[in-house]
A and B are shown apart, each in its own frame.
Chain A
C-alpha cells in the first residue's frame, strides 16, 4: 500500500480535475488519489469515477475545511503515513509532490508547505497584502516566518492526520499553522511555482476575502491563545 494519500477537495471542477488527475498519475504513480467532491452541482464526481480514482461525495457544500477533514478521516482509517492536500483546479505543480514527500520523510516534518514566495514571485497587490499580514501575525505570535501561510499545497504526517480527523478545531488554515508551531510542530517550506487557474473562477471574492482575513487575524492573535 502507498504511504501517501493525495486529497483533492473539489467544488465544481469538472473542467479542470480530469487533467489534474492525469498528470498526478504520471508524476507520482505510487500515491493514492482521493477526490472529495464537496457537493458539486456539475459532473465533478462523474469525471473522477471515469478516471478510476477514489471519490467521496458530500451531499451538500460544506467548504474547503470539511472537504479536507473528510479526506483526513479516510487517511486515518486506511492507515496512510502521509496525506497531501492538493488543489483540484490545476494551480499546483504535480512535479513537486515527490520532493515534498521526501522532505517530510527525511527531515521528519509534521507539515511541509509548498510556498510560492520562497523564491521571488510576487502575487497581485491585494493578495500579497493579505498574506503579508497573516505572515506577520504568525511571526509575531510564534517567532517563525511562514512565507506562504495560505498555500493549499501541504503534506501532513500521521500525527497531524490524526488531529485533523478527530478534532473540529483543526482546519487547513493559517491559524492552525500558528497553533501547531506553538505546540512544537516542525513545519518546513519548499519553493514551488503555481499556475493561474485553468478555467472557472476562484471562490474567494473581495467581501469573502475581507471576512477571511478578519477571521484569521483574530484567530491567530486572540483565540489561539485561549485554546
Chain B
C-alpha cells in the first residue's frame, strides 16, 4: 500500500472520528448511530498503521493489489450501510405518514367538540 494512501486514510479517518464525536457531544446524533462510523474509522486507522493486514488478506483472497482490497472493503461497508439506511428510511416514512394521518383525525375530533 503506498505511503500517501496510508496517510490519507489515517488523517481522514481521524478527522471524521473527531467530527462524529463532536456531534455526539452536542446531542446532534443518536448514540447508536455513531457506532458504525466509529468502527469504520478505527478499521481504517488500523489498516493504515498495519498495511501488512491488507497485504496478506489480499493475497489470501486473490486480490491483485492491497489497495484494491481497501477499496473493496470501503465499497462493501458503504453498500451495507446504504441498504440498512434504506430499510430504516422506509420504516420512518411509514411511521411519519401514520402519525400525520392519526394526528389530523384527532384534530378533526377536537374541532367538533369545541
Contacts and interface: CB of A to CB of B under 8 A. Distances in A.
Main secondary structure of the interface of A (DSSP, over half): loop
Given A61-B95, A175-B31, A226-B24, 8 more contacts: A60-B95, A60-B98, A60-B99, A168-B30, A169-B27, A169-B31, A223-B31, A227-B25
Given A59-B98, A168-B30, A223 B103 contact: no
A55 to B, nearest CB: 14
A171 B30 CA distance: 11
Contacts of B71: none
B38 interface: yes
Nearest to B101: A59
Interface string A122-136: 000000000000000
Contact of A59 (B34, B35, B38, B102): B102
Interface of A: 59-62, 167-169, 171, 175, 215, 218-219, 222-223, 226-227
Contacts of A167: 27
Nearest to B94: A60
Interface of B: 21, 24-25, 27, 30-32, 34-35, 38-39, 95, 98-99, 102-103
A218 to B, nearest CB: 5
Nearest to A215: B32
Contacts of B31: 169, 171, 175, 219, 223, 227
Contacts, number: 40
A61 B98 CA distance: 10
A226 B17 CA distance: 10
A62 B34 CA distance: 20
A59 B103 contact: yes
Contact of B35 (A168, A171, A219): A219
A28 to B, nearest CB: 32
Contact of A223 (B35, B95, B98, B102): B35
Contacts of A219: 31-32, 35
A215 B30 CA distance: 12
A61 B102 CA distance: 13
Contacts of A168: 27, 30
A223 B24 contact: yes
Contacts of A61: 95
B38 A226 contact: yes
A44 to B, nearest CB: 15
A158 B3 CA distance: 55
Nearest to B25: A227
A62 B99 CA distance: 11
Contacts of B34: 223, 226
15 contacts: A59-B98, A60-B98, A167-B27, A168-B30, A169-B27, A169-B31, A175-B31, A215-B32, A218-B35, A219-B31, A219-B35, A222-B38, A223-B34, A226-B21, A226-B38
